[in-house]
Amino acid sequence: MPIQFQNKRFSHPDKKRDEQLLKIIRDLQEEIRSSLDPDEARRLNASLSQHLSRAKEPENREQAIRKAVERIDEYPIVRERFSENLDKSTRWYSKPASGDVVSIAGDLFDIEPGILMVCPDDPNHYQRYRRNARQKLSCPHHHHRLIPSSDQEST
């Protein structure tokens, strides 16, 4: 299934948009605790907290937000909640149609994703986009190497 891109892309810093994204990410941290395994939730929230902390400096804000959204993109359940919250809270974002595979980071920041890699035990549990051919990715919960989503569909 191809990646869908449908939302407005921003080529310049937009303070209002950044503040909206930061608030939604902060609010999402509570939902993460109830949505993921406790260890995964703790790791993801710690990572998001680091990115939110870096976002306090204006020169680091856009990159920190992008990295936080990339981390959210790795967890389909969290990505779905983030997309729903973003759709409800802003006028400039529209939640994709149900069933579409969407890279929110790519959608918001005009990033071309690499190959979608998934957990072989449960493809809907953990997903990441590989950024280069040598990158080795693994599921933090099942401790298995991720496989290309196209390989999963053929099995």
Q: Are residues 58 and 105 in the same domain?
A: yes
Q: Are residues 150 and 107 in the same domain?
A: no
pLDDT tens-digit profile of 68-121?
988 898 888 888 888 888 888 877 766 666 555 555 555 555 545 577 888 888
Q: Are residues 65 and 108 in the same domain?
A: yes
pLDDT (0 to 100) of residue 51: 95
Q: Please give the residue range of the domain that contains residue 130.
A: 114-155
Q: Are residues 103 and 118 in the same domain?
A: no
Q: Are residues 126 and 100 in the same domain?
A: no
Report the alpha-carbon distance of residue 155 to residue 138 in Å, rounded. Answer: 19
pTM of the model: 0.61
pLDDT tens-digit profile of 17-67?
888 899 999 999 999 999 899 999 999 999 999 999 999 998 888 889 988
Structural domain count of the chain: 2
User: Which among 4, 19, 1 has a CA at the least distance from the CA of 97?
Assistant: 4
Q: Are residues 88 and 100 in the same domain?
A: yes
